[in-house]
Amino acid sequence: MENKHEELWDKYWKGETTLEEENMLFSEVEADQQGGSLKDFFSGIQAIRSEKPIAVQLPLPKQKYPWQKLAAVLLVFLTVTACWWGYKEYEQQQQEMAYQQVVEAMGKIQLNLRKGTSHLESMEKIKYLNSGVNWYDNNKNN
Amino acid sequence: MKSFFESQLWPLKNRLYRFAMLWLKDRDKAQDAVQETMTKGFLQQQYLSSIENPTGWMVKTLKNEALQQIREAGKWGTMDEVGDRAMEVDSEVDFSQKTKMVFRFIEKLPERQKEIFFLREVEGLTHREMAAYLDLNEGQVKVELHRARKKLKSFLENYGK
């Protein structure tokens, strides 16, 4: 019996024991009343074996229908489109207003240009006198 | 029906956590590393379901996360150097003396032996499972386990002297 025990330990130190044989040896060491470094060592191993992580969290599964992301993208797209559309409208209004202002300004200029021309109308009546001056100039040149 | 993540990757979390403790010696940091690894595993589950050894991929990812945390703590190095540079065992006061004793021994092992010893003694994996975890063949696993236990024998004989 003692020989078999020794044999098993020899096998253990050589790394040739099976897991069952090792469990047998560890149980013997645990039950040993004398203790010693071997018992301490295997108690330490037992303590490490009982170590467990407190909480490892499972990563969140991928969303089958990522509707929230889709909604966010859609919202951004609509906002950008609305802004762009609004800006185009504003730009067009600005152009129309500028055109109206130019038309009004031109109208006022036209009105002002006509002012003071009524007294020149009488000059039209004696315009024919200029033809005599032309006749004189022509004869002088010849 | 359970998804690939739920059936294959999620059950690894406790083991990965203890594995992270091996490098980081800190519960919070180990928790963060496992959380990151699990998140990556979840996002890559389609790819992982198509490869031969998803567990090995998870362990590698966890190692990278642990290395990242050690680097962020200002301790630069490759994974081979992590054993020397990882958080000091003695600085962690909330571990029992016996747990510290285990970590103190493991710290002395080369990187590969450290992982194999841990997976066998703490996680109780078979040679084949360890080979899958670490992307090694079973022969390498047996040799390294033998070497690690030889060192354990010597460590225990000299402990307290």
Percent of all residues in chain B with a pLDDT value above 70, rounded to a whole number:
86
A50–chain B Cβ distance below 8 A for any pair: no
B4–chain A Cβ distance below 8 A for any pair: no
Domain ranges of chain A: 2-50
Q: What is the pLDDT of residues B7-49, one digit of tens each?
A: 888 888 888 998 888 888 888 888 899 999 999 999 888 999 9
**Which residues does chain A have within 8 Å of residue B102's beta carbon, measured at their own beta carbons?**
41, 44-45, 48
Report the half-sphere exposure of A57 (CA within 13 A, side-chain side).
4
A30–chain B Cβ distance below 8 A for any pair: no
Torsion angle defined by CA atoms of residues B35, B40, B45 and B46, in that order, rounded to the nearest 10 degrees: 170
Does position A142 have pLDDT exceeding 80, yes or no? no
Stretch (H or E) spanning B6: none
Higher pLDDT, A55 or A28: A28
Alpha helices, H only, chain B:
4, 13-24, 27-43, 45-48, 54-72, 79-85, 97-107, 111-121, 127-134, 138-158
C-alpha distance from A4 to closest chain B C-alpha (Å):
19
For the entire predicted model, the pTM comes to: 0.60
**Which residues does chain B have within 8 Å of residue A58's beta carbon, measured at their own beta carbons?**
10, 38, 42
B51–chain A Cβ distance below 8 A for any pair: no
First-last CA distance in chain A: 162
Mean of the pLDDT values across residues B53-78?
A: 81
B145–chain A Cβ distance below 8 A for any pair: yes
Q: How far apart are CA A101 and CA A96, in angstroms?
A: 9
Q: Would you call B38 and A56 a contact, using CB atoms and an 8 Å cutoff?
A: yes
Report the half-sphere exposure of A68 (CA within 13 A, side-chain side).
3
Q: Would you call A56 and B42 a contact, using CB atoms and an 8 Å cutoff?
A: no
pLDDT score of A64: 63
pLDDT score of A63: 62
Mean of the pLDDT values across residues B70-88?
A: 56
A35–chain B Cβ distance below 8 A for any pair: no
Mean of the pLDDT values across residues B70-84?
A: 59
Q: Would you call B101 and A41 a contact, using CB atoms and an 8 Å cutoff?
A: yes
Quick check: helix, strand or coil at residue B51? coil
Mean of the pLDDT values across residues A77-95?
A: 94
pLDDT score of B87: 46
Its ipTM equals 0.74
Q: Would you call B14 and A52 a contact, using CB atoms and an 8 Å cutoff?
A: yes
